[in-house]
């Protein structure tokens, strides 16, 4: 039984058998970059962050020193929508939360300046926006305790080590590195198994 086929259109590259014409049409339609076939690696610009530096906010500016309950946590979606009151949320390239601090990646320097000067309203509260990582200056004044963890397999999960140190040692781990072997003064990619932690109590 014959069925009526979908009428073909010359601009429909999926049905065009002429590879040269198909490529040219795809370029015209913006489906692929002009130099796609030159053998160079291609990057999807929509999946990369711009060169604009991020700005930062601290959850302590919202909650104070009181740890919020899980139902009070600030979520990506809530912050994304809150930023829309300052700059169009479509101008955001990324939102990242790390230990109570948020990195906000705007699309342009103008948006970055706007965020810093206007600040962000979250839950009817004006939240300060930092131009640099506020925790880096905070931590630079702290005295770190350097801890070496030995006799641990390379395959052991770093997260378990970190949690054990924080729970048993009653301290806060700020950084955890895997030690690598030095040969003739040069650092290699060969791990020794030791973990180096920097913590404060």
47-74 residues labelled b (16+ CB within 10 A) or e (exposed): eeeeeeebbbbbbebbbeeeeeeeeeeb
Average pLDDT score, the chain: 78
Which has the closest alpha carbon to 133: 103, 169, 163?
103
**201: confidence class by pLDDT, cuts 50, 70, 90:** confident
The answer to whether 179 and 196 have CB atoms below 8 angstroms apart is yes
Higher pLDDT, 27 or 107: 107
**96: confidence class by pLDDT, cuts 50, 70, 90:** very high
Question: pLDDT per residue over 27-68, tens digit each?
Answer: 666 665 565 555 555 555 444 555 788 999 999 999 988 888
Residue 161 in 3-state DSSP?
helix
- CA angle centred on 200, ends 197 and 201, rounded to 5°: 130
What average pLDDT does range 81-105 have in this prediction?
A: 90
Pick from 22-26, 101-105, 111-115: least confident: 22-26
How far apart are the two ends of the chain, measured CA to CA in Å? 79
The widest CA-to-CA distance across the chain, in whole angstroms, is 82
CA 197 vs. chain centroid, Å, equals 23
- Give the C-alpha distances (Å, rounded to integers) separating 22 from 14, 30, 33: 8, 12, 13
Two structure tokens written together for 177: 């590195």
Helix (H) or strand (E) holding 179: strand 172-183
């Amino acid at each position: 039984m014959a069925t009526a086929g979908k009428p073909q259109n010359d601009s429909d590259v999926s049905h065009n058998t002429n590879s040269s014409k198909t490529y040219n049409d795809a370029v015209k339609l913006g489906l692929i970059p002009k130099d796609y076939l030159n053998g160079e690696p291609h990057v999807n610009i929509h999946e990369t962050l711009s060169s604009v530096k991020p700005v930062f906010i601290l959850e302590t500016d919202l909650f104070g020193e009181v740890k919020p309950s899980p139902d009070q946590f600030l979520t990506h979606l809530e912050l994304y929508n809150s930023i829309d009151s300052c700059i169009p949320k479509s101008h955001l390239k990324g939102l990242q939360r790390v230990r109570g601090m948020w990195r906000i990646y705007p699309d342009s320097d103008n948006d970055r300046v706007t965020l810093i000067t206007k600040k962000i309203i979250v839950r009817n509260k004006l939240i300060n926006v930092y131009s640099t990582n506020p925790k880096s200056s905070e931590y630079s004044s702290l005295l770190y305790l350097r801890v070496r963890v030995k006799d641990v397999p390379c395959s052991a999960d770093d997260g378990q080590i970190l949690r054990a140190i924080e729970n048993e040692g009653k301290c806060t781990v700020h950084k955890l590195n895997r030690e690598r072997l030095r040969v003739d003064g040069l650092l290699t990619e060969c791990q020794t198994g030791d973990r180096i932690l920097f913590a404060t109590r």
